[in-house]
Amino acid sequence: MGRKVKNLLQSLRDKEFVWLPKVQTLKAFGSFLYWMSPTVISAVVFIGCAVTKSAPLNAETIFTVLATLRNLAEPVRMVPEALSIMIQVKVSFDRLNRFLLDEELNNDDSERKFKECSVNAVEIQDGNFIWDHESVSPTLADVNLEIKWRHKIAVCGPVGAGKSSLLYAILGEIPKISGTVNVGGTFAYVSQSSWIQSGTVQDNILFGKPMDRTRYEKAIKACALDKDINDFSHGDLTEIGQRGINLSGGQKQRIQLARAVYNDADTYLLDDPFSAVDAHTAAILFNDCVMTALREKTVILVTHQVEFLSEVDTILVMEGGKVIQSGSYESLLTAGTTFELLVSAHKDTITELNQDNKHKRGSDNEVLSNPQSSHGFYLTKNQSEGEISSIKDPIGTQLTQEEEKVIGNVGWKPFWDYIDYSKGTFMVCFIMLALFAFMAFQTASTFWLAIAIEIPKVTNATLIGVYTLVSFASAAFVYVRSYLTALLGLKASTAFFSKFTTAIFNAPILFFDSTPVGRILTRVSSDLSILDFDIPYSITVVASVAFEILVIICIMVSVTWQVLIVAVPAMVASIYIQVYPPVFLDCLFPIQATARELIRINGTTKAPVMNFASETSVGVVTVRAFNMVDRFFKTYLTLVDTDASLFFHSNAAMEWVVLRIEALQNMTVITASLLIILLPHGYVAPVEPPAIVDNNRPPSSWPSKGRIDLQGLEIRYRPNAPLVLKGITCTFKEGSRVGVVERTGSGKSTLISALFRLVEPSRGDILIDGLNICSMGLKDLRMKLSIIPQEPTLFKGSIRTNLDPLGLYSDDDIWKAIEKCQLKETISKLPSLLDSSVSDEGGNWSLGQRQLFCLGRVLLKRNKILVLDEATASIDSATDAILQRVIREEFEECTVITVAHRVPTVIDSDMVMVLSYGKLMEYDEPSKLMDTNSSFSKLVAEYWSSCRKNSFPNISRQQ
C-alpha cells in the first residue's frame, strides 16, 4: 500500500513540478509587466511628443496618456496569466482527448438481445471476441454455447484458457468481432478479485437494494458470514476501509458473494469465488450457497476446484480461448482428454497430501481423498465452521474517522509556519521592503506630476525626465518583489512536499487502513496546489493592499482631513461586520467565522468524490453487471453537488462581506467628494455654469441672423496650462458657410467646444447676434445650436425618441425630416414605423444611417447655426453627397460651420479658416486663397496629389 501511494504521489508531483517553476515565473513576469509597461510606454509617448512637437504637451495630454495606459496595465498583466492557464488547459485537453478517444463498449441492443421467455438463459453462436483489436488472434474463438435456465454450469481449464473472458463475453464487457450473444433475465456477478466499497458490511451486501430482513439473513448464512458479523465490534454496521483493507481475503470474497445472493438475480456468474477461502469454507459455500440458496437459479461457475465438478449439470472445458469439451462429469472422464488430465493432476495432489499427513499425524487426521465421496468435498475431521472467521476489527470504534478540521480562528501560526518551514524569513523582509519602496516611488511619481504641472517654469524635459526616473525605480522594485515572491513560493512548495512525503512514507499500516486514499490525494493535489500558487501571492497582495490603503488614507487626509469623520466609523463598521454577528442586518452569525468554517468544510468534501470515483472505476464491471450504473452516477452527482454547494456558499459568504464593505467604502468616497466640493473655494475649481440665468435670458427668437463674432478668443484647459487657442479674432457672417481646416492638433475641436461652452474662454468674447454667450445659461445657448458630430450618437429606445427626445414635434414633422434625410423608405418598411427599436449606441443601424439620423435631428430643430464636426469623415461618398445636398437646401439661410479634413467638403464654402497650433493663419474666400501661396492652397494641392496617386496611379505616372 505504501509503495502504491508513494508511486502515485511522486507521479502527480513530478507532473506538478514540471509546470510549477514556469507558472511561477510567468506570474512574476506578469506582475512586473503590470507596473512596468505603462511607465515605459508613457515615457516613450512623452519623449516622442516633446521631440517631434506633434502636440502640445500640457496637463490634459499627460493625464489622458496616463489614464489610458493605466487602463492597459491590467490586460498586459493578464498576458502571462493567460499563458499559464493555456499551459494547464493544454495538459488537461490532452488528457481528456486520450480519454475520450479510448475504445468504448458497444451496448447496442441489437448485439445483446434480451429474451425473457427463451428456453435458454444464455446463447452464443459463432462468437469471436477480442480485447485488443491490434492482436493477431482473438481472445475467444468459435464459441457456441447454450445454457438452459436453472442449470449449474462449471467452467474449468488451465490458466489463461479464457474462462474469465467467457464471463465477460456474456456480460458484454469484451468487444465482439462476430457472432451473436443472446441473454435473458438479470445478472449477478462475483469477480475473481473481490471488489468491496467503502462503507458498512450491510451497505455492501444490500448494494442499493431495499432491506428485506429475511432474505438478508438467508444470504448471510448461505455465505457463512454469520459468525464473522457476530464477532465484529459493530456487527453488520462495522465500517469497511478503502477497498476492504481491514478484511481478510476470504471475508471480502464472501461479502461480495452475499451481495450477489441478496440481489436475487436470474443468472449468476461466479468467477472462481472459492480461490480466496480454505477448503472447508469452500465446501460450505458450494453446498449452502451454490447448490442450496441458488438451486432455482442459473449458475455459471468458473473454478479450479475439481472436487465440485461432479455436482454440476454441465462442465465446459476451455483451452486456448476455445470450448474444447462440454458434457457431464462422467462423460468427460475419457482417457487422454484435457478434463481427465485435470482430474488426474488433482488426484495426484490429494495422494501426496494424504501421505504427508499420515507421516506427520498418524491416524488422528482421517482424510477423505476420494474426490467423488462425501459429495466431492475435501475436508478434515477436526475442522469446523468456527475456523472460517478471521477478525481484523479489534478496535471498538469505527475504522475510518471523520476528517479532522480546526474550529475557530487559528491566528497567524499557519502563516509563520509557512515562512518558517521554507526558511524564508529574510526573503519576506526583503519582499516587504521592496513593496514599501515601490509604493513610495509610485506615490512620488503621481505627486510629481500634480506639483510640476502647476509650476510654469518647469520644462517638458524636466517633467518627463523626473517622472521617467521615478517610474523606472518603482518598476524595478516591483520586479524585485515579484521575483522574491516566486522564489519564496518555490522554496515553500519544495519544503512542504518533502515533509509531506516523509510523513506519508513513515506512517504505520494502521494509518493507511483508516485513511481513505482520496484524503491523501486531496492533500497532494488541491491543498498543495494552494501552497504552490496562491499562498505566496496572497501574502504579497495582502501586504500590498494594506500599504495602499494607508497611502490612500494619507493622501485623502492631506487634501481634506474632514474625510476622517466618515472614514473612521466606516473602518470600525467594516471590522464589526466581519468579526461580530450583525443581527441588525440579515445575518445571525459572525460572517468571517461562518465563511472560514464553510471553506474548511469544503476542503473535506473533495476526498469523498475522489474516493468514490477511484472505487467505482475498479469495480465498473460489477456495477454494470448488477445494472447499478444509474445509481452510482446519481451518487457521484450527489457528492459533486455537495462539494459544489459548499464552494458556492463559501463564496456567497465572502461576497456578502465584500458587498457590505464596498458599500462602506463607496460611502466614504462619496462623502470625501462631497466635502471637497462643498468646502470653501480653493480646494477645487468652480462647478459648471448654470443652465439658466434668470436675469440674462436671450429672446425666444434669438439668434435671428446667426452672426458669430470671435474677439481675441483665448482658450486653455487648466489655469496654468498652455494656451490652445491664441487670440482668435474673426467674424462668421450670417447665412455664410465657413470651413475650418488644418492638421490634427491645431485647435479646431477646441473652437467648437468653446462655441458650445464645453470649455470657458480664458480671455476674449464670443458674440452671437451681438449677445455674449458667456453671460447666458448653458441651456439657453445649447438649445439654439445644432451639431452633427463625427461619431453619430444614438440612444437605446425608438426612432421617435432618438429624433425628438423631448417630444416637441408632431409625427408629420418627424416624417418630413425623415424624408429629407433619405430614411423614409427604410423606416416605412419596418413593422413598428417610428416606434421601431434602436439598440445601445444604434448598433442595429449602419454608420451612414446613424449619421442621417443626426441630420434628421437638426432638420427638426431648424436652428440658425449648424456645426458639422468632421461629420463626413466616417461615411462613404454617396452618403456624404446626400448629407451635403440636404444641408445646402435646408440650411441655405443658416450659418454653417464645417470642420473637415476632406477638401471637397469645404471648397465650396463662402469662407475658409486655417488654424495652426491655436493661431488663426488665414481667413478668406477659398478662391482668393487658391490664387496665392497660402496654407490652404498647399492643403488642396496635397489632397489632389494623394487622390491621383491612390485612385489613378497610371495617370500620375504618365504625367
- Cα distance between residue 717 and residue 370, in whole Å: 115
- Give the chain's mean pLDDT: 75
- Give the per-residue pLDDT at 800: 87
954: pLDDT strictly greater than 50? no
- Give the per-residue pLDDT at 393: 44
User: Of the ranges 24-38, 484-498, 740-754, which one carries the lowest mean pLDDT score?
Assistant: 24-38
Rounded mean pLDDT, 129-148: 85
- Cα distance between residue 248 and residue 227, in whole Å: 14
Residue 782 near residue 845 (C-beta atoms within 8 A): no
180's enclosing H/E stretch is: strand 176-183
Q: Which residue has the cell 451497505?
A: 203
- Cα distance between residue 697 and residue 252, in whole Å: 99
- In which band, very low, low, confident or very high, does the pLDDT at 188 lie, cut at 50, 70 and 90? very high
**β-bridge mates for residue 708, sequence order:** 732, 768
- Give the per-residue pLDDT at 369: 37
User: Of the ranges 194-198, 395-399, 683-687, 783-787, which one carries the lowest mean pLDDT score?
Assistant: 395-399
588: pLDDT strictly greater than 60? no
- Give the per-residue pLDDT at 27: 53
Q: Can you read off the three cell numbers belonging to residue 266?
A: 436470474
Rounded mean pLDDT, 638-647: 85
* 940 vs 453, higher pLDDT: 940
State the CB neighbour count (10 A cutoff) for residue 451.
10
User: Of the ranges 250-259, 331-340, 775-784, which one carries the lowest mean pLDDT score?
Assistant: 331-340
Tell me whether residue 520 is exposed, middle or buried, using C-beta atoms within 10 angstroms of its C-beta: 0 to 12, 13 to 18, 19 or more: buried
Bridging pattern class, strands 322-327 and 865-869: unpaired
Q: Which of 954, 935, 933, 955 is nearest to 943 (CA)?
A: 935
Residue 33 near residue 77 (C-beta atoms within 8 A): yes
262: pLDDT strictly greater than 80? yes
Helix (H/G/I), strand (E/B), else coil: 304? coil
Q: What is the pLDDT of residues 847-906, one digit of tens each?
A: 777 878 888 888 888 888 888 877 665 566 666 677 777 778 888 888 888 887 666 667
Residue 865 near residue 787 (C-beta atoms within 8 A): no
268: pLDDT strictly greater than 90? yes
276: pLDDT strictly greater than 50? yes
Q: What is the pLDDT of residues 218-239, one digit of tens each?
A: 999 999 888 888 888 788 888 7
Rounded mean pLDDT, 530-545: 76
Instruction: Calculate the CA 69 to chain-centre distance.
Output: 27
Helix (H/G/I), strand (E/B), else coil: 147? strand
Query: Which amino acid belongs to residue 501?
Result: T
Rg (CA), the chain: 45
- Give the per-residue pLDDT at 383: 38
- Give the per-residue pLDDT at 673: 73
- Cα distance between residue 576 and residue 591, in whole Å: 10
- Cα distance between residue 929 and residue 932, in whole Å: 5
429: pLDDT strictly greater than 70? yes
- Give the per-residue pLDDT at 366: 39
Please state, for a pLDDT cut of 70, what percent of the chain lies above it: 73
Q: What angle do CA 307, 313, 319 make, to 5 degrees?
A: 65
- Cα distance between residue 166 and residue 433, in whole Å: 72
Residue 581 near residue 592 (C-beta atoms within 8 A): no
Instruction: Calculate the CA 570 to chain-centre distance.
Output: 34
Q: Can you read off the three cell numbers belonging to residue 889?
A: 437646401
Q: What is the DSSP letter of 55?
A: S
Query: Which amino acid belongs to residue 414?
Result: P
Rounded mean pLDDT, 375-393: 38
Q: What are residue 592's phi and psi, to 5 degrees? A: -65, -45
Q: What is the pLDDT of residues 309-319, one digit of tens each?
A: 888 888 888 88
Order of strands, sheet of 919-924, starting from the edge strand that comes earlier in the sequence: 785-788, 865-869, 895-899, 737-741, 911-916, 919-924
- Give the per-residue pLDDT at 258: 92
- Cα distance between residue 76 and residue 80, in whole Å: 8
- In which band, very low, low, confident or very high, does the pLDDT at 952 lie, cut at 50, 70 and 90? very low
Q: What is the pLDDT of residues 163-181, one digit of tens each?
A: 888 998 998 888 888 888 8
Rounded mean pLDDT, 211-216: 91
Rounded mean pLDDT, 191-197: 85
Q: What is the pLDDT of residues 333-369, one digit of tens each?
A: 765 576 777 776 666 655 665 565 555 544 444 333 3
332: pLDDT strictly greater than 60? yes
- Cα distance between residue 774 and residue 379, in whole Å: 119
Q: How far is CA 537 from CA 523, 531, 532, 542, in A?
A: 20, 10, 10, 8
Q: Can you read off the three cell numbers belonging to residue 375?
A: 459429495
Rounded mean pLDDT, 917-928: 84
Residue 799 near residue 838 (C-beta atoms within 8 A): yes
Q: Which of 814, 905, 803 is nearest to 849 (CA)?
A: 803
End-to-end Cα distance, the chain: 91
Helix (H/G/I), strand (E/B), else coil: 613? helix
State the CB neighbour count (10 A cutoff) for residue 134.
6
Residue 173 near residue 621 (C-beta atoms within 8 A): yes
In this structure, what is the dihedral angle of CA atoms 278, 280, 281, 283, given to the nearest 10 degrees?
A: 120
- Cα distance between residue 737 and residue 855, in whole Å: 17
- Give the per-residue pLDDT at 300: 93
Q: What is the pLDDT of residues 819-830, one digit of tens each?
A: 888 788 888 888
Q: Which residues contact 277 (CB under 8 A, 6 or more apart)?
A: 249, 250, 253, 254, 285, 388
Strands (E) located in 687-819: 708-715, 725-732, 737-741, 763-768, 771-772, 785-788, 797-798
- Cα distance between residue 375 and residue 252, in whole Å: 26
Q: Can you read off the three cell numbers belonging to residue 384?
A: 469446523
Instruction: Calculate the CA 664 to chain-centre distance.
Output: 29
408: pLDDT strictly greater than 80? no
**β-bridge mates for residue 152, sequence order:** 299
- Give the per-residue pLDDT at 406: 55
- Give the per-residue pLDDT at 13: 45
Q: What is the DSSP letter of 772?
A: E
User: Of the ranges 570-579, 696-705, 758-767, 775-784, which one carries the lowest mean pLDDT score?
Assistant: 570-579
For the four alpha carbons of 47, 52, 58 and 60, in that order, the dihedral sign comes to negative
Q: Which residue has the cell 485435470?
A: 342
Residue 838 near residue 802 (C-beta atoms within 8 A): yes
Q: Which of 655, 671, 672, 664 is nearest to 576 (CA)?
A: 664
How would DSSP label each residue in 644-664? HHHHHHHHHHHHHHHHHHHHH
Q: Which residue has the cell 475504522?
A: 399
Q: What is the pLDDT of residues 465-475, one digit of tens each?
A: 788 888 788 88
Q: Which residues contact 705 (CB under 8 A, 6 or more apart)?
A: 734, 735, 769, 864
- Give the per-residue pLDDT at 759: 85
**β-bridge mates for residue 923, sequence order:** 913
In this structure, what is the dihedral angle of CA atoms 327, 332, 337, 339, given to the nearest 10 degrees?
A: 80
Q: Which residue has the cell 442450496?
A: 292
- Give the per-residue pLDDT at 401: 56
- Cα distance between residue 949 and residue 397, in whole Å: 94
Q: What is the pTM of this model?
A: 0.51
611: pLDDT strictly greater than 60? yes
Q: Can you read off the three cell numbers belonging to residue 396?
A: 471498538
Q: Can you read off the three cell numbers belonging to residue 158?
A: 488451465
Helix (H/G/I), strand (E/B), else coil: 440? helix
Query: Which amino acid belongs to residue 187?
Result: F
Q: What is the pLDDT of residues 62-95, one digit of tens each?
A: 555 555 555 555 666 667 667 777 887 888 888 8
Residue 920 near residue 723 (C-beta atoms within 8 A): no
Q: Which residue has the cell 421467455?
A: 117
- Cα distance between residue 290 and residue 286, in whole Å: 5
